[in-house]
């Protein structure tokens, strides 16, 4: 379990793995999934796009823009990786995604691992397959 420490104004002060009570705030113990949900909802509240809307993006359109100097090639490739995971929660192997997109497996894995870290994908520790992070 992780612990979020909140200041009196409601902002997150820190996230720790050990619960402690602070003098100026309240400590609440949350699971990693709960923390990810809080982060997603906070992003939505400040006007960031909902990551679940990525399905509206066209992977083929990304491929056409990879050589356009006006766009970030790395960001487009990352979005292509994210768009390759079905919104219905079906899981996929990184090797399958890499093959579909014509990318290296290690590069695709780095993108997937990054998306896990920020709560956009989830990884099954047994099958080692990834899927879109759903509502918790």
Please indicate, yes or no, whether residues 72 and 35 belong to a single structural domain of this protein.
no
Please indicate, yes or no, whether residues 78 and 107 belong to a single structural domain of this protein.
yes
Q: What is the dihedral of CA 99, 103, 109, 113, to 10 degrees?
A: -120
Structurally, how many domains does the chain consist of? 2
Could you count the other beta carbons within 10 Å of the beta carbon of residue 94?
23
The pLDDT tens digits of the residues spanning 88-131 come to: 889 999 999 999 888 999 999 999 999 999 999 999 999 999 99
* Enclosing domain of residue 66: 52-132
Please indicate, yes or no, whether residues 74 and 126 belong to a single structural domain of this protein.
yes
Question: Does the predicted model carry a pTM greater than 0.95?
Answer: no
Please indicate, yes or no, whether residues 76 and 105 belong to a single structural domain of this protein.
yes
Please indicate, yes or no, whether residues 70 and 23 belong to a single structural domain of this protein.
no
Q: What is the DSSP string of 78-134?
A: HHHHHHTS-TT---B-HHHHHHHHT--HHHHHHHHHHHHHTTSEEE-TTT--EEE--
Structure confidence at residue 106 (pLDDT): 96
């Amino acid at each position: 379990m992780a612990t979020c420490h909140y200041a009196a104004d409601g902002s997150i002060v820190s996230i720790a793995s050990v619960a402690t009570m602070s003098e100026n705030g309240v400590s609440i113990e949350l699971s990693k999934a709960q923390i990810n949900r809080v982060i997603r909802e906070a992003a939505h509240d400040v006007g960031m796009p909902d990551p679940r809307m990525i399905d509206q993006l066209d992977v083929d359109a990304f491929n056409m823009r990879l050589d356009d100097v006006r766009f970030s090639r790395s960001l487009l490739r990352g979005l292509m990786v994210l768009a390759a995971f079905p919104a219905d929660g079906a899981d996929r192997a990184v090797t399958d995604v890499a093959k579909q997109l014509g990318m290296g497996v290690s590069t695709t894995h780095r993108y997937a691992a990054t998306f896990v870290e920020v709560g956009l994908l989830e990884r099954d520790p047994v099958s080692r397959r990834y899927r879109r992070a759903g509502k918790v």
